[in-house]
Amino acid sequence: MSKAQRAQVDAILRQPRPAPRNLEELRAGYAATQAQMAVSDGIRTSETTLGDRRALLVEPTERARPGTILYFHGGAWSLGSPETALPLTSALVSRTGTRALSVDYRLAPENPYPAAVDDGANAYHALLKNGEDPARIALVGDSAGGSLAVTTALRARESGLPAPAAVVAFSGCFDLTLSGESMDTKAGTDPIFTREMLGPLAGMYCAGQDPRHPHLSPALSADLTGFPAMLLQAGTNEVLLDDSARLAARAIDAGVDAVLDVTAEVPHVFQSFAGILDEAGQAIDRAALFLSQHLR
């Protein structure tokens, strides 16, 4: 564990930036920031359609192993795209040898809940209709996308579809009531988020819906009985830490094979800093191993 590397990442995230004047500037700034992250070698990308949404197909340049990673990008349900998640999807593809399909789901506030969940469920259903074996599909996402990985699995079960093989979430947001203890204990330690910053973003996505709904706050109210194996990764320097901890506890209580993987003194979605932060690459290695073990 490198204290100097962790300090470097923290300093990068705390650099002052001009305040965006509107959502368009916020989206452009997020895309520009993500474009600076390293994309792994040994992959190729192409555009495709999954369900009725655009998707980015990320494949290894060598022959792909069986299986599909259905990926959901982060961005607080209102920012981002498959391209902004390419550093993470490429890292998983290069390590597992398995292809990924990253869904360009609809964003809030133009399309609030349940649009993103609908798009996730439609994408999963489309894979099944195309003949994909659910035992070789993993739902994966970061931040808001981690929540969508979980809620897509919930929606699939509610629709009578077979469960995927696994769910992986990097720093998932699983409680839109923002009531986790870490919202207070990690205030100031988190270089990105505060409860006050997350509140309006959660409000745009919920759009008047009860934030305790299982699809909005699975850590509080989701029935995880019969859920696929889950890997939940988080850092101790993020206000969303308790989201992963409480969802993992809820899954374990329901008899689910759940792994809570917490890395010390790293921020939200620290895995994006692979190549700068040793812990980032190590965490992705663990996620890739988990996926390889469950994508039979």
Q: Which residues are catalytic?
A: 143, 238, 268
E strands in 98-153? 98-103, 137-142
Contact present, 188 and 255 (Cβ < 8 Å): no
Residue 40 burial (C-beta neighbours within 10 Å; 0-12, 13-18, 19+): buried
Spell 173-210 as b/e; 16+ CB within 10 A means b. bbbbbbbbebbeebeebbbbbeeeebeebbebbbeeee
Place of tokens 């399309």: 111
* DSSP three-state, residue 161: coil
The sign of the torsion formed by the CA atoms of 276, 280, 281, 284 equals negative
* DSSP three-state, residue 42: coil
CA–chain centroid gap for 218, Å, is: 14
